[in-house]
Structure 1
């Protein structure tokens, strides 16, 4: 969805300490503390909204002490995860996994606990949307992760900027603009012609949700790379065509320039998975409160972009306790609290029909009932796109840089060649 390692000093320290404290240096510091408490570690990235929840868990379980390891972005978190899986030690008791890296974890599923066996018996699979469960179930029916959040797609836009271009900005009026990708790009042409300003933030931020709407992603279910035949070339051409017509602000997502772009009104529309609302509010600032709006009208009917799982590696010392913590964090009640804290939208079926969620509004987005809006969008997703080996690497390190290169002057034809060559190299 979203983007500390134990350093060398700790590794060296572990080899030097007495056996009496060796437990604390083992699998990420898990085990039992001197005062008899069960010590658990949980490794996450970006914002899961767990800070206050972990305090709540400790208060309800006074025999447990939980330490959160929080990495800023998804890529370094998962690099650390795979390195320590290979080393056979050093992982947290609970490890978060983002959907773009899930296939690599599933390929190593034997190194993770089957939560059907060690998890609390009252945790049933119908706690989650079925496609969320299917994504983390092995071919021999082992469940290696509990679903946290999802990223149902909507569209965010600046009402005042659309009005300045003579385009409709009310909830009903924008439906026609965002009905299909063709109508979206046509509206973008009108906007650019009327204002001389960009329509969206970056090519990659448009390509990714379009790609996620495809029946088949970069890999088919036999893990064969299919980027040349899955429809991505058509999407690539649509997006780069819009770039050529001046629709992109050419701001690389998560860069300082992109963050400033929200405050400086550098673009009028933004593809909006649920977790993007907090990003917009944080970057655009209070001066733009009420100017941004969010609508369920999304080109192509919606989809999902992002979402994660909590897993329990077999390296841990207190695996049953770790599974208990993961189960509690992914219960509907806790996931609603996480959504309120950081905008991570729940994947739990009870949460999606909870009045507490459905009545959740955003004053920043004009009082919109964002809980109800994204719940409806989540229920439009029939199945999650299969993410094959190196899916996240291809998206982050191959396709997105190629699209950025087009924004910087590379021809679309040359950039597409780079995509094919890079994807084949990554898939080896």
Structure 2
């Protein structure tokens, strides 16, 4: 075994010199702030918005190598329940909070979210970049803009082409009127055994949201007047059509987002579904990926247009990193690369107008049998009217859904159900 060589004075001096150089470099980096500790930005989201964030993180890291995104993802209901509790207690809030449209009105009326119109955010200048109808959705009754839209859900008529072909039904014939839609459903049921739709409630939900007038929300107008009334033709017709579907035995009585709902899509036992454009991404990624090529889309019956879902980003007032939280939100909502990445990743339809002009919109959608569906969705998005939101929307929806179930399951008179719903909503809203 060779003896270990001893260091010469020259080697010792060289080693000491290297250490001195390294120390000087580290000191310089620290003093310049380049070696400062990483900033961690906490972002709370839900599927499939979490997938959009994951897909764009590499691009974010190139721009902000000193900012780490800590993504906290929970299932849809769990996420919003957690955020509700966190806002109520002021504990456990993230720097950036994702919200689905049905929760924005409720959260907007509290004081736990930053008003993005005010300095240092100054979101007013960015509103012109976004699909117009989403701005009203994120604005509270007292005029505070509390969340930035990132994706939208143009209301869409999804159908299984293979099922309709088997029944000999032309999808265009289902689009003329809601009565024609139901008539076609009877043929589909008789010839294939497939239900027209998973649940008659879905028919009510889309009709009640279709072709709203300027200044109207689903349940309240922009002056906080309740629209639910036994003489309101929109609600009367929506309940009547839903009842016709149920009475004719055309729905499967399956709850949305249940395992049975997924199975129905996989097996083709449900012929149609009304939803936002985002359903395509959900079907493709995890709900029924093996049905690729079997689905098609078209506009809503009677030339209707309706918003169906949509996602937003908000900043809690407790955030310790508000400036960087705003940078992240702008990156996700006002940059074409982020919006198109999300669109291609999971079908999240961009709220950003310039992203809607991207060449990707001309591409065929393989999951939809090569249909150029994105052009249809873009046209629908631009024809959808702004919809006002109200802090009592979720209360009104819960009450309406309960009364609707009595109409469908207990044959309660529709006008009585709407009158009862109105009384309950007014009592809860006082």
TM range (shorter): 0.7 to 0.9
CA offset at residue 210 of structure 1?
Answer: 1.2
- Identify the residue that residue 28 of structure 1 maps to in structure 2: none
Is contact 2:203-2:238 (8 Å) kept?
A: no
CA offset at residue 262 of structure 1?
Answer: 0.9
- Identify the residue that residue 204 of structure 1 maps to in structure 2: 201
CA offset at residue 122 of structure 1?
Answer: 11
Is contact 2:174-2:301 (8 Å) kept?
A: no
CA distance in 1, matches of 2:163, 2:192: 9
Q: Matched residue of 2:293: which SS?
A: coil
Counterpart of 1:187 (choices 180, 184, 189) is: 184
CA offset at residue 178 of structure 1?
Answer: 1.1
For residues 165-176 of structure 1, the aligned pairs below 5 Å read 165-168=167-170, 174-176=171-173
CA distance in 1, matches of 2:87, 2:176: 45
Does residue 348 (structure 1) correspond to residue 345 (structure 2)? The answer is no
Q: Matched residue of 1:220: which SS?
A: coil
After superposition, the Cα gap between the structure-2 partners of 1:205 and 1:125, relative to the gap in structure 1 and judged at 3 Å, is: same
Does residue 68 (structure 1) correspond to residue 68 (structure 2)? The answer is no
Does residue 283 (structure 1) correspond to residue 309 (structure 2)? The answer is no
Counterpart of 1:314 (choices 299, 317, 323) is: 317
Is contact 2:293-2:369 (8 Å) kept?
A: yes
Does residue 263 (structure 1) correspond to residue 260 (structure 2)? The answer is no
- Identify the residue that residue 10 of structure 2 maps to in structure 1: none
- Identify the residue that residue 9 of structure 2 maps to in structure 1: none
Is contact 1:198-1:249 (8 Å) kept?
A: yes
- Identify the residue that residue 19 of structure 2 maps to in structure 1: none
CA distance in 1, matches of 2:156, 2:256: 18
- Identify the residue that residue 61 of structure 2 maps to in structure 1: 58
Is contact 1:200-1:267 (8 Å) kept?
A: yes
CA distance in 2, matches of 1:202, 1:79: 25
Is contact 1:180-1:298 (8 Å) kept?
A: yes
Deviations 1:275-295 (A, max 9, x none): 111233333342x33222112
Does residue 293 (structure 1) correspond to residue 296 (structure 2)? The answer is yes
- Identify the residue that residue 120 of structure 2 maps to in structure 1: 118
Give the helix-richer structure, 1 or 2. 2
- Identify the residue that residue 13 of structure 2 maps to in structure 1: none
Deviations 1:222-261 (A, max 9, x none): 3233322543132112111211011111111011111111
Q: Matched residue of 1:117: which SS?
A: coil
- Identify the residue that residue 326 of structure 1 maps to in structure 2: 329
Q: Matched residue of 1:364: which SS?
A: helix
After superposition, the Cα gap between the structure-2 partners of 1:182 and 1:162, relative to the gap in structure 1 and judged at 3 Å, is: same
Deviations 1:23-64 (A, max 9, x none): xxxxxxxxxxx9612221111122112112134313321111
Q: Matched residue of 1:379: which SS?
A: helix
CA distance in 2, matches of 1:56, 1:141: 34
Is contact 1:179-1:297 (8 Å) kept?
A: no
- Identify the residue that residue 253 of structure 1 maps to in structure 2: 256
CA offset at residue 368 of structure 1?
Answer: 1.1
5+ residue gaps, structure 1: 1-33, 169-173
- Identify the residue that residue 413 of structure 2 maps to in structure 1: 413
Is contact 1:275-1:344 (8 Å) kept?
A: yes
Is contact 2:254-2:261 (8 Å) kept?
A: yes
- Which structure would you say has the larger Rg? 2
